[in-house]
Amino acid sequence: MPDSLRRFKAGIFQALAHPTRIAILEQMKGGELTVSQICERLALEQANASQHLAVLRHKNIVVSRKEGNLVFYSLRDPILSQVLDLMREYFQKHLQEAMALLQEEREVRSYPHRKEARR
């Protein structure tokens, strides 16, 4: 596979790599939403939501449609919903480790110089 394609893939994953953007995409599973609906449901600042939507838009992960004052966003391809569902399955399958991972991240934030456990 050419490196250009890998960079494209990496770009998509990068766009998915933020909890807020994942939350936004989950909301859009149920269909189109306006920016203010997204802000309301997720308790986001408008500017912040707009920034994250811009990231998703630039990668063509979502599409927008303007109607009067409102901009409706929706998921462009249901494959991405499937991906998020698979990830939930993965998470549940490895729930114990997943929790440990999140805990570890918290600890790293508190004590940044502690070492990884030996295997």
Chain contacts with DNA (rule: CB under 7 A): 14, 17-18, 20, 34-36, 39, 45-48, 50-55, 64, 66, 68-71, 109, 115-116, 118
| Contacts (CB under 8 A) with a copy of itself, residues 46-85 | 58-60, 64, 66, 77, 79-80, 82-84
- Look at residues 47, 42, 75 and name the one whose alpha carbon lies nearest to residue 59: 75
Contact partner at residue 29 from a copy of itself, DNA, none, CB < 5 to 8 Å by partner kind = none
DSSP letter assigned to residue 111: S
Q: Can you tell me the distance from the alpha carbon of 115 to that of 53, in angstroms, rounded to the nearest whole number? A: 37
SS3 8: helix
CB 61 within 8 Å of CB 12: yes
Residues interacting with a copy of itself, by CB under 8 A? 1, 3-14, 16-23, 26, 58-60, 64, 66, 77, 79-80, 82-84, 86-91, 93-94, 97-99, 101-102, 105, 116, 119
